[in-house]
Amino acid sequence: MQTTLTMYPRFEPSITILIRYVPELDNRECEGWWEVENNYVALSWRLYQDFSRLEKQSEKKGFFQKLKKISKTALD
């Protein structure tokens, strides 16, 4: 399963983030991450359901702040 979220920062281009349920993350210590440069979020079923229940844009933005961020530049 997957969904997208589009954010519209003030005076900047819009950002669309792909949010995908990844079964391999179920019952793991790390239940999700955010690939910042790729605008991709991988979530366990529990976190995917939690995200789906959020209604306000501000709640969804706050949800992303709790995820582990993976940066390509940090891996280089």
Give per-residue pLDDT as tens, 33-47.
999 889 999 999 999
Each as own residue / partner, the long-range contacts of residues 53-59 (CB below 8 Å, 24 or more positions apart, any chain) are 57/7
- Round to whole Å and give the CA distance between 73 and 71: 5
The whole-number pLDDT of residue 48 equals 94
Residue 67: CB atoms within 10 Å: 18
The whole-number pLDDT of residue 74 equals 52
Q: Check whether 51 has a pLDDT greater than 60.
A: yes
- Round to whole Å and give the CA distance between 72 and 26: 24
Mean pLDDT, the chain, as a whole number?
Answer: 87
Q: Check whether 2 has a pLDDT greater than 80.
A: yes
Mean pLDDT of 52-66: 87
pTM of the model: 0.79
Range of the domain at 40: 2-75
